[in-house]
């Protein structure tokens, strides 16, 4: 017999896994579906703000074992020169997304969330008391769907959103060599306007997350390689991914809600912090 879940979460990135963690903690029967088996790679700078760390801690997620670096010093370079931010607390905490996302998913699974590897191709609501989530391998049934399937969200498209609208683009690479330790660099001068570059240390060993992002869709690969080499580093594989920076036009229907990048909730200035939305959304299940 098919299981009827209280909530099916599509996508096990930070938004999906945090939603699964909170909903399972509240006693709901939850299924999370991701097209990849975890740990999996996600192009990202891996920089978490202090606000994000406090939010995760308040949920009981202390990130023990997955913090790669803590920058109490951030060098900001702009056209007028440069300045240094310092604090006793880390200003940017650096994680590796494969480890961080796997940690969040594991915490949800420990609370009883079911996890299936499948690629969701469609959802069907048919106006009834449930939603069918159609995967390549199977169909899953839930009372509600929390869509956390990222920037190219199938579910956001199903709700009628144009997922290419209001989307920034960012490229990154894991680079090697000698640069600053425990210091994050944010450089506004490499792109004319509407973007920035970063170099985030990944815990010693001469490894750095280096990237470039902009609200203008362009191929920044060549610029990124130049940036890496100007810093005296060697680039690895270059990976790009869109970042939706404006809330989608339609983020809910009666039984579906979009969270994280699927909903377009990345900060429009920094391109980060999209994953905090599910903390509001999981309790939403209670109100129905």
Ligand X SMILES: Cc1cc2nc3c(=O)[nH]c(=O)nc-3n(C[C@H](O)[C@H](O)[C@H](O)COP(=O)(O)OP(=O)(O)OC[C@H]3O[C@@H](n4cnc5c(N)ncnc54)[C@H](O)[C@@H]3O)c2cc1C
Binding positions for ligand X, rule: CB under 6 A: 10-16, 33-36, 42-47, 119-120, 148-150, 154, 170, 172, 211, 241, 243, 260-262, 266, 271-275
Q: How far apart are CA 98 and CA 43, in angstroms?
A: 10
User: Taking the complex as a whole, how short is the minimal distance between the CB of residue 34 and ligand X, in angstroms?
Assistant: 4
* Strand 195-201 with 183-187, pairing: antiparallel
Coil, strand, or helix at residue 55?
helix
Alpha-carbon distances of 240 from 41, 145, 167, 249, rounded to whole Å: 12, 28, 13, 24
Q: Which is nearer to ligand X, 13 or 201 (CB)?
A: 13
User: Taking the complex as a whole, how short is the minimal distance between the CB of residue 256 and ligand X, in angstroms?
Assistant: 14
Nearest residue to 181 via CA among 206, 158, 164, 161: 206
Q: Token pair of 179, please?
A: 């640069």
User: Taking the complex as a whole, how short is the minimal distance between the CB of residue 278 and ligand X, in angstroms?
Assistant: 8
Q: Which is nearer to ligand X, 149 or 255 (CB)?
A: 149
Q: Which is nearer to ligand X, 80 or 246 (CB)?
A: 246
User: Taking the complex as a whole, how short is the minimal distance between the CB of residue 88 and ligand X, in angstroms?
Assistant: 22
User: Taking the complex as a whole, how short is the minimal distance between the CB of residue 268 and ligand X, in angstroms?
Assistant: 12
Q: Is 178 exposed, middle or buried (0-12, 13-18, 19+ CB in 10 A)?
A: exposed
Q: Which is nearer to ligand X, 39 or 206 (CB)?
A: 39
Cβ density class 27-38: b for 16+ within 10 Å, e for less = ebbbbbbbbeeb
Cα 2 to the center of its chain, rounded Å:
31
Q: Which is nearer to ligand X, 1 or 144 (CB)?
A: 144
């Amino acid at each position: 017999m098919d299981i009827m879940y209280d909530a099916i979460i599509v996508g096990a990135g930070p938004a999906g896994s945090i939603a699964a963690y909170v909903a399972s903690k509240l006693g709901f029967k939850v299924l999370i579906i991701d097209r990849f088996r975890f740990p999996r790679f996600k192009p990202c700078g891996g920089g978490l703000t202090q606000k994000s760390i406090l939010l995760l801690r308040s949920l009981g997620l202390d990130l023990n074992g997955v913090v790669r670096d803590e920058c109490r010093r951030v060098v900001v370079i702009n056209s007028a020169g440069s300045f240094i931010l310092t604090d006793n607390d880390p200003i940017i905490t650096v994680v590796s997304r494969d480890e961080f996302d796997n940690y969040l998913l594991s915490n949800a699974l420990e609370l009883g969330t079911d996890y299936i590897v499948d690629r969701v191709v469609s959802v069907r609501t048919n106006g009834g008391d449930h939603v069918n989530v159609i995967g390549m391998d199977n169909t899953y049934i839930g009372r509600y769907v929390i869509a956390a399937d990222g920037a190219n969200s199938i579910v956001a498209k199903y709700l009628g959103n144009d997922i290419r609208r209001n989307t920034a683009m960012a490229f990154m690479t894991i680079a090697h060599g000698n640069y600053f330790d425990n210091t994050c660099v944010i450089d506004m001068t490499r792109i004319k306007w509407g973007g920035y570059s970063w170099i985030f240390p990944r815990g010693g060993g001469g490894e750095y997350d280096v990237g470039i992002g902009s609200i203008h869709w362009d191929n920044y690969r060549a610029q990124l390689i130049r940036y890496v080499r100007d810093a005296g580093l060697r680039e690895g594989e270059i990976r790009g991914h869109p970042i939706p920076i404006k809330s989608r036009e339609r983020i809910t229907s009666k039984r579906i809600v979009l969270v994280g990048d699927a909903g377009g909730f990345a900060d429009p200035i920094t391109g980060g912090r999209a994953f905090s939305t599910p903390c509001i959304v999981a309790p939403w299940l209670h109100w129905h």
